[in-house]
């Protein structure tokens, strides 16, 4: 089975399952609408016919964040949200660019210990997966 940026489909599926478990086991009062939506989306993707998705992984000093998105644009919007949330904390002396793509590029140029990948993948239902 082909790799996607060094990760097999089964590894990506396991990562998606991890995010679902993490969101589902959090205290209900701590769940945000977006994390609930992510969990529902990932569950549907894992239980549906093969589907193209985009996997966002952000590696940072506290670990990793990520998600599975149905479009690359959605993954990039989530990445921009991460950048917006952490800009003030990580970049103290510069205003954030107005353009999302410029902000993403500048953030990861300045914060050299953090990185991200947005990778295409195909999620298959286990019964449809080819060994």
The alpha-helical segments, DSSP class H, found in 7-114 are: 9-25, 33-46, 72-90, 100-110
Domain assignment present for 101: yes
Domain assignment present for 3: no
Is the pLDDT at 96 greater than 80, yes or no?
A: yes
Domain assignment present for 129: no
Domain assignment present for 130: no
Domain assignment present for 78: yes
How many structural domains compose the chain?
Answer: 1
Domain assignment present for 111: yes
Q: What is the Cα–Cα distance from 83 to 107, expressed in whole angstroms? A: 7
CB atoms within 10 A of CB 68: 24
This model's pTM is above 0.75: no
Domain assignment present for 25: yes
Q: Considering only CA atoms, which of 84, 66, 83 is closest in space to residue 75?
A: 66
Domain assignment present for 60: yes
Residue 95 phi, psi (nearest 5): -70, 150
Is the pLDDT at 131 greater than 50, yes or no?
A: no
The range of the structural domain enclosing residue 41 comes to: 9-123
Residue 92: which pLDDT band, with cuts at 50, 70 and 90?
A: confident
């Amino acid at each position: 089975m082909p790799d996607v940026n060094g990760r097999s489909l089964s590894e990506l599926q396991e990562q998606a399952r991890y995010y679902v478990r993490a969101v589902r086991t959090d205290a209900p009062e701590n769940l945000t609408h977006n994390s609930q939506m992510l969990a529902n989306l990932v569950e549907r993707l894992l239980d549906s016919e093969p589907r193209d998705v985009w996997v966002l992984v952000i590696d940072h000093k506290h670990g990793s964040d990520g998600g599975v998105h149905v479009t690359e644009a959605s993954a990039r919007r989530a990445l921009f949200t991460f950048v917006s949330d952490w800009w003030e904390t990580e970049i103290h002396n510069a205003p954030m660019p107005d353009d999302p793509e410029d902000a993403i590029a500048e953030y990861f140029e300045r914060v050299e210990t953090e990185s991200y990948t947005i990778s295409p993948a195909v999620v298959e239902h286990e019964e449809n997966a080819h060994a």
